[in-house]
């Protein structure tokens, strides 16, 4: 299958690398084709790995991943173009974190979320919020953590969520650990979890962790 991964950071590289490893063709997109990080990744990742602009990646992919910084995601997707997103599953893994003086905050939260903003801005894209509650390494090697632990999906399109869940299983997430939280408004929950995630990281001393739902 052909994937377009928007974003060249740690998350984009981890996801694009895993997709190539699974046998998919991947174009990593940046603001402009020929970006240093995307070129280096494509050269190292082999013949199924390509690079280009956000628009190149979006046109190339049958399924798309938004792995840009959350505060830049809407701009990046506008550069990709609504036409290139239309009808496609768009996995939004971004968090709208703002790092400045003091504690990180979210640029959108509480009565809205980045996932909802993206779905509203691109109504023909099939947005599925997923994977934004774990670090890049846990996303693609969930088995490196002991025990079962959970990953969330949400979105308005049930078929799209099923396609994303199948991909997560290919990544190594057991089907029973994938939790469907409902429509895209649940992105408020998974994005607003980040401040707690950051403090748990501080308390545990590692970003290599996740949470498991323990029920009665």
As measured in angstroms, the least distance from the Cβ of 5 to its own copies is 24
- Given the complex with its own copies, which of 119 and 210 has the nearer CB atom? 210
Closest CB 112 distance from its own copies, rounded Å: 10
Cα separation, 216 vs 214, whole angstroms: 7
# binding residues, its own copies (CB under 8 A): 45
Which among 27-35, 65-73, 121-129, 180-188 is the span making contact with its own copies, rule CB under 8 A? 180-188
Q: Which ranges of 61-113 does DSSP label H, i.e. alpha helix?
A: 73-80, 82-85
Distances (CA, A) of 212 to 101, 119, 145, 174, 197: 32, 28, 11, 13, 13
Element (H, E) at 25: strand 25-30
**Of 4-12, 17-25, 143-151, 161-169: span binding its own copies (CB under 8 A):** 143-151
- Residue 176 in the binding site for its own copies (CB under 8 A): no
Q: Taking CB under 8 A as the criterion, which residues in 81-120 touch its own copies?
A: 103, 105-106, 109-111
Helix (H, G, I), strand (E, B) or coil at 39: helix
Query: Rounded to an integer, what distance in angstroms lies between the CA atom of residue 205 and that of residue 158?
Result: 37
Contact between 151 and its own copies by CB under 8 A: the answer reads no
Q: Which of 23, 147, 175, 176 binds its own copies (CB under 8 A)?
A: 147
Contacts 24+ apart (CB under 8 A), 39-43: 41/8, 41/13, 41/16, 41/17
**Calpha distance 88→182 (Å, rounded):** 19
Residues found near its own copies in the complex (CB under 8 A): 103, 105-106, 109-111, 138, 144-149, 152, 154, 179-182, 185-186, 188-190, 192-193, 195-200, 202-204, 206, 208-216
């Amino acid at each position: 299958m052909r994937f377009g991964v928007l974003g060249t950071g740690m998350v984009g590289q981890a996801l694009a690398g895993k997709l190539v490893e699974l046998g998919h063709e991947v174009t990593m997109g940046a603001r402009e084709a020929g970006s240093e990080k995307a070129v280096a990744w494509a050269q190292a990742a082999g013949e199924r790995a390509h690079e280009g602009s956000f628009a190149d990646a979006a046109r190339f992919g049958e399924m798309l991943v938004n792995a840009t910084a959350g505060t830049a995601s809407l701009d990046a997707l506008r550069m990709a173009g609504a036409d290139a997103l239309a009808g496609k599953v768009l996995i939004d893994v971004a968090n709208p974190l703002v790092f400045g003086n003091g504690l990180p905050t979210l640029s959108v939260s509480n009565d809205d979320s980045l996932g909802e903003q993206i779905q509203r801005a691109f109504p023909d894209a099939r947005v599925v919020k997923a994977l934004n509650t774990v670090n890049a390494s846990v996303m693609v090697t969930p088995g490196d953590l002991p025990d079962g632990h959970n990953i969330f999906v949400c979105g308005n399109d049930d078929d799209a969520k099923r396609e994303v869940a199948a991909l997560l299983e290919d990544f190594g997430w057991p089907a029973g650990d994938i939790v469907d939280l409902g429509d895209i408004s649940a992105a408020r929950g998974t994005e607003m979890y980040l401040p707690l995630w950051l403090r748990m990281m501080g308390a545990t001393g590692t970003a290599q962790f996740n949470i498991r739902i323990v029920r009665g």
